[in-house]
Amino acid sequence: MANKRNLTAGTVIAAVVLGILVWRPTVLIYGLQAAGLYASIAIPMGLILGIVHIVNLAHGEFMMVASYLTYMICRSTGMDPYLALVPVAAITAAFGFGIYKLTIRRALKAPELNQLILTFGLAILLTQAANLLFTSQTRKLSFDYVSASVDIGELSFGVYNFVFVALALFMVLGLRLFLARTKVGKAALAVGQNPRGAAIVGIDVDRAYALTFALASALVGMMGAVFITRSSIFPAVGSPFTMKSFCLIAMAGVGNIPGILASSVLLGVSENVLKAFRGTRDWADIVFFVLIITVILGRSIRGKKT
Amino acid sequence: MKRNTQFAAAGAVLMAALPAFLGAYPLNVARSVMTYMALAVSWDMLLRSGQISFGIAGLFGLGSYASALLVLRAGMDPVLSLVFATFFTGAVAWILGFAVLRLRAMYFSITTLALAEIFRIILHNLHDFSGGPEGVVLPGVIFGGDAHALYWLCLGGLIITLGVSWYFERSKMHLALTAIRNDETSARSSGVDIFRFLLIAFTVTSTLQGMMGAIQVQSYGFTTPETAFDANFTLLPLAMALLGGIHSTLGPMAGAVLLGIASEWLKLKIPYGHLVVYGIIIVLVILLMPRGLVGLARKRLTGRRA
């Protein structure tokens, strides 16, 4: 029964994808690129949510901080962001570790309300601190390789943004290896599944949480470094991504990191379908919010039944 | 009990007489503080049931636009439009409540935030009806822009909000909401109709937020999607309620007075990023005194752990 349903769902999806591919190939291409961008921001947040069980509402702001850091490093040393990626990831890892130790750790036992509001406060703090230091003026680094494009037949499209798809795939594979193969990763996974049980068998829960936080911050730091090669940054640049990330995770189901890829593709492609038409272009933003509400409500209704 | 009523009456009379002593600028500040106070108290009213709404700005903006568009498109009298906009927001919240109130914890919070964004995008894109990104300009300010009348109007909105909150604290709503917050399962098994009470609380608080939005737009005579749905209308009331002390009427009031006046002062001192102070306050309050100032004072006064 379930198999049959999966099969029909698969056929429908394949038909839709094929239809779009024939009708407007750029929709699929740009949709996938957008999906890569969404996924690479959402995956580190999914890692924190899956293991530490905290919704980090300052997640997009972590990326914003990383982007500004990259901007400063590249401006002062003339380094390429892909080179600066390494020190930036190291610094944001330390930053995430510090934030965990100073704030999050103290709210772990508190009600969920306090955790949400705490990270919400951190988000405001980081955005406004950036506002204070850099003003709200947009900053940009320009590179030639960003405008690389490919022509296939009469179709021409930018390929640079596929770097986000690569980054997302790298994160999923890397995390899978880390969580399944390394001792630290296995410990983190165990803590995520059952903190008390993990503590009983001698795993240092606090250390696992701190490491997870640092690792996720390093990943989002890498993302921030890559992000600035393509987009202008300003203090509020990260905040929309926090909510998008959360929603992608909620769609995929908490703890399901590869699922984030699938929900990102769904979001990226459907946004680009609307963007393909002049009349509906302005409405592309709304897809996302409608999608979240449908998915969250759908889940809650289905959850009630079973 | 009786003394409290006398205090409240004396406070209301004092507040109503304030325009006789103050100039235009302090009155303007007072109006902004009162608006935020009403929003903070109404947010707290729903919080007493354990549901954290991040959608204050959405309902506030909805009320603003409803009132403005009723005057512009239907030629309604401004005072009458306040009433209609208030009930319109309430009706929308009531309908949405059937879906949204199935959700709990972070799913509820994120969905309210998403709804606020959906309202904003719809009004942003309906160029012909809502004026699009440029917003709407009313033919005139309510009461011919008389500063005293505007002050009393805002005070009226605040007094209604405080009255409802006071009623919530003293009726069986209080018991029901507290029971839901503490333990839904045991509340249900004691015969509390959870959904009905949540729906009442959600509808009433949304109505109040819409009312303040309507009052705001009529007192300024114009609005845009970005000002009506400004994230600050979610952020500041949250910070105020937290600082003052949640789950009470007095706490959010105290927080609003303190932060409202402080922010006016900071706005003059630090034009960019004065909101950083709000972020710091939220983080510190959550970590150091989760019960807020009122909770702290109460602990000091009674000399025992509350």
Nearest chain A alpha carbon to B238? A117
pLDDT in tens, B186-236: 888 888 888 889 999 999 999 999 999 999 999 988 888 888 888 788 888
Residues of B with Cβ-Cβ distance to A122 under 8 angstroms? 279, 283
Average of per-residue pLDDT values in chain A: 84
What is this structure's pTM? 0.82
Nearest of B299, B65, B69, B94 to residue B205 by alpha carbon: B94
Rounded mean pLDDT, B146-162? 89
Rounded mean pLDDT, B52-75? 90
For A116, the closest of B52, B115, B121 (CB atoms) is B52
Q: Is residue A62 domain-resident?
A: yes
Is residue A110 within 8 angstroms of chain B, CB to CB?
A: yes
CATH number at residue A146: 1.10.3470
What's the pLDDT at A306? 46
Is residue A296 within 8 angstroms of chain B, CB to CB?
A: yes
Contact B273 A124 (CB under 8 A): no
Q: Is residue A22 domain-resident?
A: no
Band of pLDDT at residue A45, cut at 50, 70 and 90? very high
Q: Is residue A19 domain-resident?
A: no
Q: In Å, how far is A237's CA from the nearest CA of chain B?
A: 14
Residues A12/A20, Cβ–Cβ less than 8 Å: no
Q: Is residue A18 domain-resident?
A: no
Q: In Å, how far is B164's CA from the nearest CA of chain A?
A: 24
Overall domain count for chain A = 1
Contact A289 B282 (CB under 8 A): no
Three-state SS at A158: strand
Nearest chain A alpha carbon to B98? A297
What percentage of chain B reaches a pLDDT higher than 70? 98
Q: Residue A237 sits in which domain range?
A: 29-305
Complex confidence, ipTM: 0.76
Contact B102 A112 (CB under 8 A): no
Whether residue A255 has pLDDT greater than 90 = no
Distances in Å between the alpha carbon of B299 and those of A39, B207, B243, B306? 47, 34, 15, 6
Mutation pick from A48, A109, A120, A278 vs chain B, by most beta carbons of B within 10 Å, is A120
Contact A293 B124 (CB under 8 A): no
Q: In Å, how far is B171's CA from the nearest CA of chain A?
A: 25
Is residue A286 within 8 angstroms of chain B, CB to CB?
A: yes
Residues of B with Cβ-Cβ distance to A118 under 8 angstroms? 282-283, 286-287
Q: Is residue A253 domain-resident?
A: yes
Winning range, highest mean pLDDT, from A110-119, A139-148, B151-160 = B151-160
Lowest mean pLDDT among A108-112, A248-252, B94-98: A108-112
Q: Is residue A79 domain-resident?
A: yes
Distances in Å between the alpha carbon of B5 and those of A245, B11, B116, B155, B247? 48, 10, 36, 18, 20
Contact B279 A136 (CB under 8 A): no
pLDDT in tens, A265-297: 888 888 888 887 777 777 877 887 888 788 777
Is residue A116 within 8 angstroms of chain B, CB to CB?
A: yes
Spatial distance between the Cα atoms of A54 and A15, rounded to a whole number of angstroms:
38
Which residues fall within 8 angstroms of residue A78, CB to CB, at 6 or more apart?
none
Q: In Å, how far is B273's CA from the nearest CA of chain A?
A: 5
Q: In Å, how far is B286's CA from the nearest CA of chain A?
A: 6
Q: Is residue A292 domain-resident?
A: yes
Lowest mean pLDDT among A33-42, A80-89, A139-148: A139-148
Which residue(s) pair with A233 in the sheet? A139
